Structure 1
């Protein structure tokens, strides 16, 4: 209240409606102009707000009323959604937006861009680890409304971990979810970009090998080893869906790197590797793989994320594949039927 009063021009006043008790937030804010016109705001007080809550708050305010959301902290994605829903807001760090047509008023101020009350024991909202990989891949590879119990079954992640990842995705404005309901929308392109910046192929334990007869010969030999658990990613995998320049580097995920290298006749080198075999940090890299001939490739979403998080020309190739994915969504995303049981 003090911060809002200080931001108002001379002659404007701010009053609060009566609260049920001293512990409650006021139920209404009244901002009056020097000419006597008053803008009334229904106060929506919340301890924690996710981006998906903005729609619920907007629905709770009648068409003839204005909403004012207040909380301890409102993140950037949350503020963006509140703006989009036409809601005013303020948090305890100083992030403020108050507007009305009559009387004409617009107050806006910037506070903290990170929650100052996020304790050191609480991890940052990142998409790292096996549960995040499982959930992100499941959300990217499927379309349609998806309840969290369904997501748990599709991803194979634990219940608690799935809910935490869903909360992170909502905080980062990468999904929309109804309050205590299903996930209704996935911004899968932004989600893949965000995931690729948190988890990269090159961060996996890997070994560089040299194949003297080139990448194509390795691919030919791989076709004879269907018994081994592996999946090709990166440029070579992306070439299955989009036109890519020939690659001199073959990137492979393998359940047993040494066994795969031995079967392919590869030798370890410190420099000049043209084959890199990595141990994945999540077995989800082997989910929903595809075949080119008899060679196993990662899913297009996994290959895209690995390229986006790569070096050199890889990010550009990742964006090229991302464009193909957007233009051909029905070819790779599995549609979930509305009558799928929860």
Structure 2
């Protein structure tokens, strides 16, 4: 393939500007005019605005002469995965600093998909971790509700500033619906499935949590579940059962579960409880695995089923995706049967 840049034109007049630049390009014997729109970062909400802008421009005046095909091209430092999907669906070209390129020209279809630039990857990673993740958790668990910033902050146990920052980011992904203005403005998670998918995708590349593996002799997993819940409660240890043992309570899937995994705040009280269980540290053959929680926020939205605290179905689903064996199958069963989106 041979490409030749015919001409480049900056569009600078404020009263005429509908795009940032115009490039005449000749590829494989065909001529195209690229209409360039430049952005720093692009999310689905931004794509909708640009699409409207180009369509409005196309209605108002012709953009090329002769046989040249006019192609809109969005150029940005970073473009989110959701924005790329939307751009391809709408057959609008794009290019980002990571080297991803999409140019849907007749006779010169170009598609190069590369990892997102570090700036976008870091931004997305921070959204799905720490206190910000607590806000996402709150929205997913109560996805049918409307929230003001203050109310959401209280539910997620974060500052109003953190809640506001997360909501602003989520609006850019076009996952929220809004109503009202000013202090009375409320948001509602209209795309819980898309946000949960994005969280799951992010966790796939995240560092695995710190684990402590133990073996408790002479006890079956279902009995260990009840026993651990009783002992943790007697020592006033905040905990939640997750993974297969919790999923089996929410949406039975396996004939039996061989291991109990729990998330708890480590410390002297937790150590005393583990000692009372008669658990001994092991490298293999564990039937009790402890996931170390760094803050009480990691135990938000747990549910009490019988005498045992279970992690929320959302948390159990995310934990299972990082498991082995049939954990991923169980995760999908839980999502379909209990989560519902």
Give the structure-1-normalised TM-score: 0.69
Please name the residue that 1:193 is paired with: 200
Q: Which structure exhibits the higher relative contact order, with contacts defined as CA atoms closer than 8 Å and separated by 6 or more residues?
A: 1
- Show the 5 A alignment for 1:55-204: 55-63=48-56, 65=58, 67-91=72-96, 94-99=99-104, 106-110=108-112, 112-115=114-117, 118=119, 123=122, 125-126=124-125, 129-144=129-144, 149=149, 151-158=152-159, 176=175, 184-186=190-192, 187-198=194-205, 203-204=209-210
CA contact (8 A) 2:131 2:297 kept: no
Structure 2 distance, partners of 1:131, 1:67, is 39
Please name the residue that 2:336 is paired with: 323
- Show the 5 A alignment for 1:256-275: 256-263=269-276, 265-270=277-282, 271-275=284-288
Question: What secondary structure is seen at the aligned counterpart in 2 of 1:261?
Answer: helix
Structure 1, unaligned runs of 5 or more = 1-5, 330-342
CA contact (8 A) 2:138 2:155 kept: yes
Structure 2 distance, partners of 1:312, 1:203, is 18
* More strand by percentage: 2
CA contact (8 A) 2:251 2:338 kept: no
Please name the residue that 1:7 is paired with: 3
CA contact (8 A) 2:221 2:260 kept: yes
Structure 2 distance, partners of 1:133, 1:43, is 36
C-alpha change, 1:96 and 1:310, in structure 2 (3 Å) is closer
Shift of 1:239: 0.9
CA contact (8 A) 2:37 2:75 kept: yes
For residue 308 of structure 1, the aligned residue among 321, 329, 339 is: 321
Shift of 1:318: 1.8
CA contact (8 A) 2:24 2:33 kept: yes
Please name the residue that 1:237 is paired with: 246
Please name the residue that 1:290 is paired with: 303
Shift of 1:310: 1.3
Structure 1 distance, partners of 2:251, 2:199, is 18
Shift of 1:249: 0.8
Give the structure-2-normalised TM-score: 0.70
C-alpha change, 1:287 and 1:40, in structure 2 (3 Å) is same
Structure 1 distance, partners of 2:18, 2:273, is 63
CA contact (8 A) 2:175 2:195 kept: no
CA contact (8 A) 2:18 2:54 kept: no
Question: What secondary structure is seen at the aligned counterpart in 1 of 2:79?
Answer: coil
Aligned length: 306
CA contact (8 A) 2:244 2:327 kept: yes
